[in-house]
Amino acid sequence: MAASLFLGWTGTQSLTATTAPTGKTSQTIQTVQTDRPIDVVFAGDAMMDGSVKRAIQRLGADFPFRNVKKEVSKADLAIVNLETSVTQASRKDDVQLFNFKSDPSSLNGINHAGFDLVSMANNHVLDYKEKGLFDTFNNLKRHHLNYVGAGRNEREAYSASTFVRRGKVIKIAAFARFLPSENWFAHGNHPGVAEAYQPQRVLNAIAREREGADYLIVFMHWGIEKNNRPEDWQRDLARKMLDAGADAIVGSHPHVLQGFEFYKGKPIAYSIGNFLFPDYVSNRKADTGLLHLKLRNGKVKMSFTPYYIRDNQIVKRGPQYDKKISRYLETLSYGVRMSGNEVLSKR
C-alpha cells in the first residue's frame, strides 16, 4: 500500500512527500518511478466469521493474511470484497439463508495486509440490517479503510472511490447483481447497495465517473454460485460497461475462479473467487489468488497470482499448483492464453 491521496466519501488521506536529493540523482529517481506501471491488486470474497473468527481470536487478526501481505503491500492500490457485515448487532435479516458477521477487530488484518479499499457491493453487507450496515461503515472508518459500492444514500453508493497514484487519477466503482431483496437497493435517501439489476443505472454511473479519471475500474458482484463460467448476460454487460467508459472489469460472487477475456483490448476477469473463507471451503472453492492490473500509458495489462485457502489462512502451494491453475484458467477463458501468471490476448 503506497503513500497516496484518496478523494472519496470516507475522508481524505494526505499525500506524504519525501525529499529526494537535487540534481541528476533526483531526476533518475523520478524517471524510474514514473516509468513503472501502476499496480492495482484485486482480491475476491473475504469474510471473517465461523472458523476464521475463532482462528483470529487464537492467533490474531494478521494470521489469515500472513502469506499474502508482502504481495498486497507492494501494490500501489489494493482492493478486496468485504463479504460480511462488521458489527456486533444481533438482529438478522431473515431474507438470508446465511448471515455473516465479523468482529470489528478482524479489520486490522485487512488493513495490516496492505488493502486500501473494500467493496461493499455484495449480498452480505446487510445481513444484520441497517444497523449492521452503518456499524460496518463506522468500523471501516475507525480502521482507516475506504469503501465503495454501498452508502448511506443512493448518491454515495453509486459514487466511485478516487485515488491518485503518481499523478494519475484512478477511480474504482462497484455494483452488485446478486442481492436477496429490493430493500437492499440504495435509492434516494435510502441506504443500501449499488445494484446492477437495472443496467442503465450502472452505465450512467460509469459515464459520470469517467470524467476526470485516467483509469476507471469496475468491481462487479455477479454470476451464479459454484459456476466456473459466466452467463451470456454477464459478457454482454461487461462489454457495455467497457463501452460506457470503464477500463477493466473485475468480478466476484460465484465462490470459484472463472476465466478471463479482453474486449477492445480491455481486460475482464469474470470471477476471482473466494479470498478468505472458513474451513468448510475446499478444492475449487478454496482456489484463490490476487489479480494484478498494471496501468501504464492508458493501457491495462492483467496477471493472476494463485493462492489457496487452507485452515483459515491464504497460502501458497508451490510452482506445480500455480501451473495447474494457470492451465485451468486458460481453459475457462475466451481468446486468452496464459504465460506464467500473465494473462494475454491471443489476438
Q: Write down the pLDDT at residue 31.
A: 39
Residues pairing with 151 in the sheet: 192
What residues contact 65, with CB distance under 8 A and at least 6 apart? 72, 109, 110, 112, 113, 276, 314
Q: Measured between alpha carbons, how far is 175 from 198 in angstroms, rounded to an integer?
A: 11
Backbone angles phi, psi at 78, to 5 degrees: -135, 135
Q: Cβ distance 47 to 288 under 8 Å?
A: no
3 state DSSP class of 102 = strand
Q: Cβ distance 93 to 99 under 8 Å?
A: yes
What radius of gyration, in Å, describes the C-alpha atoms of the chain? Answer: 19
Q: Write down the pLDDT at residue 35.
A: 79
Q: Measured between alpha carbons, how far is 171 from 84 in angstroms, rounded to an integer?
A: 23
Q: Write down the pLDDT at residue 34.
A: 58
DSSP state of 143: T
The 3-state secondary structure of 8-69 reads ECCEEECCCCCCCCCCHHHHHHHHHHHHCCEEEEEEEEECCCHHHHHHHHHHCCCHHHCCCH
Q: Cβ distance 252 to 220 under 8 Å?
A: yes
pTM of the model: 0.91
**CATH 3.40.50.300 holds for 5-13+37-345:** no
Would you give per-residue pLDDT tens digits along the chain (347 residues)?
A: 554 444 544 433 333 333 333 333 333 334 345 579 999 999 999 999 999 999 999 999 999 999 999 999 999 999 999 999 999 999 999 999 999 999 999 999 999 999 999 999 999 999 999 999 999 999 999 999 999 999 999 999 999 999 999 999 999 999 999 999 999 999 999 999 999 999 999 999 999 999 999 999 999 999 999 999 999 999 999 999 999 999 999 999 999 999 999 999 999 999 999 999 999 999 999 999 999 999 999 999 999 999 999 999 999 999 999 999 999 999 999 999 999 999 999 98
Extended beta strands in 214-298, E state: 215-221, 248-252, 260-263, 266-269, 274-276, 287-296
- Of 40, 135, 53, 42, the C-alpha closest to 89 is 135
